[in-house]
Amino acid sequence: MFNNAPLVVHVASKELADDLDPPSSPSGPPRERPPSDLCMPARLPTSGFLQREAERVAPRAVEAELERIRKALEISPPQDEAGQNSQPSSPAVSPKSKRKSFLEVLPAAFQAAKMLRVTSQSSGNQTWKPPEPYEIMRAIERRDIMFLMEVRDRSFQSLVQKSGDATPLIHAMRIEHTDMAIILLGAFSRYINNLQDDDFQKEETKKMLKILRMNLKVAIDYGLQKQQKDLMASFLQTLIMSEGDSWIAMQTADIAIALKQGTAGKPVQTAAGAVRSFATKSLGQADFIASLEDYVANATADLVMMAAWSSVLQVIQGEPLPTYYFARDDRVYRALIERLGRHKEDINRKLGRRLRWQLKVLQTQLEGRTRTYRSKVESLAKVLDEGEGV
């Protein structure tokens, strides 16, 4: 908004210069015109998305309009005596003849609308063909998110297939479209999260996960080569997710054995090694990457806490820590503290001295939000791996 009061007063004073009572100037100094505050409008849908929506909605709109017209024509309007006695001057201009001819056309119009709907449904469901690799690459270059989302829902395998020497994810990284790389990574995560436990045993799923892991490992190596390290932690996180809950359960069991051995078992080092085993050779030799180290530390701490609580559940009755909390900030820690408080009496009465000490160390070394997970895990390792132990 702009304050145009001085301009209005100036124009009015010129037009009314001859009047005895010229317009009085406003009291007080005029307000300053505020600076223009530019803003970017929301991005409009792509033409491809609009075309697909039109093909889907148009048949319904045609049928609805034809149905409305048909119902309106079937209702006979009231006729007065003058209308009944009067005769049309010419058959060519008779309203009755016009209505009849239009009604004769309606069945053909309805048939055309029905064919439009059938064609739209068949093209949308039955005869929809997976896009060619060049179409996927072109959509990435044009940032056509709507098209990629449709491919994700209809033909996920098209997003992981290799074309030439590049996958869609590598192509997005080559042209430095980080937003498109994030979209593809989100599609990978969505596919994994929608899998059920029995799906991991299917050969088709195993093959798809193998291709997906190959995509992620190649992306990690390429990102390190080109110094594109922003998504390294997300790549590793999705890579671990692709192993499913069975991997977390297996690693938790191994670390629980290390905890039973005390400091000699080096449980923190064992957990960190399990997380880093997913890293490629290049990632293991890469320079320090803060976001990656934070994720590794988060996952390491969560594995140790899950292992300790699984040992507790062998003695007392309680709920396990949810696996979907894994490496999600401090969710596992908060869930562990809540369960420790709930079962405090049973823990003090039934657990062994070593396990109670380890739980106390986890509670004290991992608390607080002012320190990073890296510093927490380093201090945790000094106590559980290198300390005197119990």
How confident is the model over 5-33, as pLDDT tens digits?
Answer: 777 777 777 666 555 455 555 566 767 76
At 368-387, the pLDDT tens digits run: 888 888 999 999 999 999 88
Tokens, residue 218: 């190649």
Tell me the percentage of the chain whose pLDDT exceeds 90: 38
The pLDDT, as a whole number, for residue 96 is: 44
Contact predicate 73/171, CB 8 Å: no
The pLDDT, as a whole number, for residue 70 is: 60
The pLDDT, as a whole number, for residue 77 is: 44
Mean pLDDT computed over every residue of the chain:
79
Long-range CB pairs of 219-224, under 8 A, 24+ apart, other chains included = 219/167, 219/169, 219/170, 219/173, 219/181, 220/279, 220/280, 220/282, 220/283, 221/280, 221/282, 221/283, 222/170, 222/173, 222/174, 223/173, 224/282, 224/283, 224/286
Q: Which amino acid is at 95?
A: P
pLDDT above 90: residue 362: yes
Most confident of 79-83, 274-278, 300-304: 300-304
The pTM of the full predicted model, rounded to 2 decimals, is 0.62
The pLDDT, as a whole number, for residue 98 is: 42
The pLDDT, as a whole number, for residue 14 is: 67
The pLDDT, as a whole number, for residue 239 is: 86
More confident residue, 110 or 32: 32
The structure tokens 């959509």 sit at 139
Residues 6+ apart with CB under 8 A from 70: 103, 106
Of the pLDDT bands very low, low, confident and very high (cuts 50, 70, 90), residue 235 is confident
pLDDT above 50: residue 79: no
More confident residue, 366 or 9: 366
More confident residue, 26 or 293: 293
SS3 readout for the chain: CCCCHHHHHHHHHHHCCCCCCCCCCCCCCCCCCCCCCCCCCCCCCCHHHHHHHHHHHHHHHHHHHHHHHHHHHHCCCCCCHHHHHCCCCCHHHCHHHHHHHHHHHHHHHHHHHHHHHHHHHHHHHHCCCCCCHHHHHHHHHCCCHHHHHHHHHHCHHHHCCCECCECHHHHHHHCCCHHHHHHHHHHHHHHHHCCCHHHHHCHHHHHHHHHHHHHHHHHHHHHHHCCCCCCHHHHHHHHHHCCCHHHHHHHHHHHHHHHHCHHHHCHHHHHHHHHHCCCCHHHHCCCCCHHHHHHHHHHHHHHHHHHHHHHHCCCCCCCCCCHHHCCCCCHHHHHHHHHHHHCHHHHHHHCCHHHHHHHHHHHHHCCCCCCCHHHHHHHHHHHHCCCCCC
pLDDT above 60: residue 182: yes
Of the pLDDT bands very low, low, confident and very high (cuts 50, 70, 90), residue 2 is low
Of the pLDDT bands very low, low, confident and very high (cuts 50, 70, 90), residue 95 is very low
Of 12-26, 90-104, 240-254, 374-388, the one with minimum mean pLDDT is: 90-104
The alpha carbon dihedral of 134, 140, 144, 147 has a sign of positive
Of the pLDDT bands very low, low, confident and very high (cuts 50, 70, 90), residue 342 is very high
The pLDDT, as a whole number, for residue 105 is: 47
More confident residue, 129 or 93: 129
Tell me how far apart the alpha carbons of residues 81 and 85 are, in angstroms, rounded to a whole number: 6
pLDDT above 90: residue 312: yes
The pLDDT, as a whole number, for residue 3 is: 64
Contact predicate 311/305, CB 8 Å: no
Please name every residue paired with 166 in a beta bridge, in sequence order, or none if there are none: 163
pLDDT above 60: residue 63: yes
The pLDDT, as a whole number, for residue 380 is: 94
At 123-169, the pLDDT tens digits run: 545 567 889 999 999 999 999 988 999 899 999 999 999 988 899 99
